[in-house]
Amino acid sequence: MILRFALALMLAATNVAAQDDPASAAIAAAARLEQAAVLLQAADAASDRVTALTETIRAYEDGLVALRDGIRRASIRKEALDLELDAKRAEIEQLLGVLQSLSMSPAPLLMLHPSGPVGTARSGMILADVTPALQSEALALREKLAEAAFLTDIQTAAAERLNEGLNGAQEARAALTKAMQDRTDLPRRFAEDSVQTALLIASAETLDAFASGLDATISETFADAAAEVTPAKGALALPVPGVVLRRFNEVDAAGVVRPGFVIAARPRALVTSPATATIRFAGPLLDYGNVVILEPAADVLFVLAGLSEVYGAPGEIVNSGAPLGLMGGTPPAVNANLTETGDPNGFRATETLYLEVREGQGPVDPATWFALE
């Protein structure tokens, strides 16, 4: 599929300006989705299926965003061409009429003029000046009509590829969820006392109270766990691709102040660990939805709240980039947000992840740990 798609676009692209055009963007995005499909097929045989599926989902997410952007840009260009051609409709009709009359007149008749040889000479000079301009106008018109038709083909072919990509991404997410449920090989730093955890959930009325009582949920510590390595402060990537809507202690529209980041993310986006860390808690908590609490270093906690699905269990040690869960929501339909009014980043980030960093007994600005550029 991708080979036919790419060849068709590349052949047609010879008639279109190639500098940062929608065709090039669509071809590159389709190639990313094809790579993701190959990764998904190879994941079954991978020695570390979770890592392979995590890479697959990231490839699908990147490819889908890029392809939506390519289709959106093609739509913008196509509409601009349509408006330009509509605005020149009268001029085009006149041009076509002149070209048609010239093509239907016998060549000897074209060289005669009623006023005689002088008139014939003058009309010949005028025709010699006008003909190149007419040819240039006709060529420009032909190129614009070809580009408009080409962009229509791009939108049709890319929409089909987009649908395949959406299905592939959904398949990869389902496979990852199963692989995480089946995983038993993660190292553990401690064993959880599930009774104490239940009591803490029932008694804690705030995130502060819950985080302060986490130590009571540990029933046994394993001495053979690897030594903690403090991650580089200020250089960590956000746990989910998105845009920071609210920063540390910023007031939202409802007048609520939170000591963390509110990150807008795409529906069903994969949430990963920003650093090698121990899972201290994973599950529903208070009014935060599903929450994952990580301990990347002694007396440091990363709180990630608002997930739809969570992976892992308390005590497990996860590597940087390991999957922690999925955001909620429903990915948009194939034809959603593919016009100039759509989100330039692919599709709307309708889900929010809350990220809080705690050092000691209180929250600190996550910007001291995470790079926002």
The number of residues in the chain equals 373
Range with the largest mean pLDDT of 21-30, 150-159, 349-358 = 349-358
Residue 52 belongs to some domain of the structure: yes
| Strands, E assignment, the chain | 190-192, 218-221, 242-246, 261-265, 270-272, 277-284, 290-297, 300-307, 309-310, 317-318, 323-326, 351-359, 362-364
231 in Cβ contact with 296 (< 8 Å): yes
Predicted local confidence at residue 11, as pLDDT? 39
Domain end call among 182, 211, 234: 182
Residue 309 belongs to some domain of the structure: yes
Say how far apart CA 212 and CA 204 lie, in whole Å.
10
Instruction: Say whether both 48 and 85 belong to one domain.
Output: yes
Q: Which residue has the tokens 């190129």?
A: 143
The pairing of beta strand 309-310 with beta strand 190-192: unpaired
Please determine, for residue 365, whether its predicted confidence score (pLDDT) is greater than 60.
yes
323 — pLDDT class (breaks 50, 70, 90): very high
Provide the domain limits for residue 66.
Answer: 2-182
pTM of the predicted protein model = 0.76
Range with the largest mean pLDDT of 133-137, 226-230, 237-241 = 237-241
Range with the largest mean pLDDT of 3-17, 86-100, 175-189 = 175-189
Domain end call among 139, 158, 182: 182
239 — pLDDT class (breaks 50, 70, 90): very high
Q: Which residue has the tokens 């061409």?
A: 81
What's the mean per-residue pLDDT of the chain?
80
Instruction: Say whether both 133 and 246 belong to one domain.
Output: no
Say how far apart CA 198 and CA 96 lie, in whole Å.
80
Instruction: Say whether both 97 and 56 belong to one domain.
Output: yes
Range with the largest mean pLDDT of 111-120, 219-228, 268-277 = 268-277
Instruction: Say whether both 141 and 213 belong to one domain.
Output: no
Say how far apart CA 95 and CA 270 lie, in whole Å.
56
Structure tokens at 178: 């199963």
For the chain, helix, strand, coil in percent to 5 are 50, 20, 30
Question: What is the amino acid identity at position 56?
Answer: T
Domain end call among 182, 215, 242: 182
Instruction: Say whether both 91 and 196 belong to one domain.
Output: no
Give the count of domains, the chain: 2
Q: 253 or 19: which carries more pLDDT confidence?
A: 253
Please determine, for residue 186, whether its predicted confidence score (pLDDT) is greater than 50.
yes
Q: Closest by alpha carbon to 215, among 313, 286, 299, 282? A: 299
Say how far apart CA 161 and CA 29 lie, in whole Å.
10
Instruction: Say whether both 244 and 277 belong to one domain.
Output: yes
Each residue's pLDDT tens digit, 263-304? 999 999 999 999 999 999 999 999 999 999 999 998 999 999
Instruction: Say whether both 285 and 364 belong to one domain.
Output: yes
Predicted local confidence at residue 344, as pLDDT? 46
Residue 116 belongs to some domain of the structure: yes
200: domain CATH number?
Answer: 2.70.70.10
Both ends of the chain: CA-CA distance in Å?
A: 36
Say how far apart CA 66 and CA 347 lie, in whole Å.
10
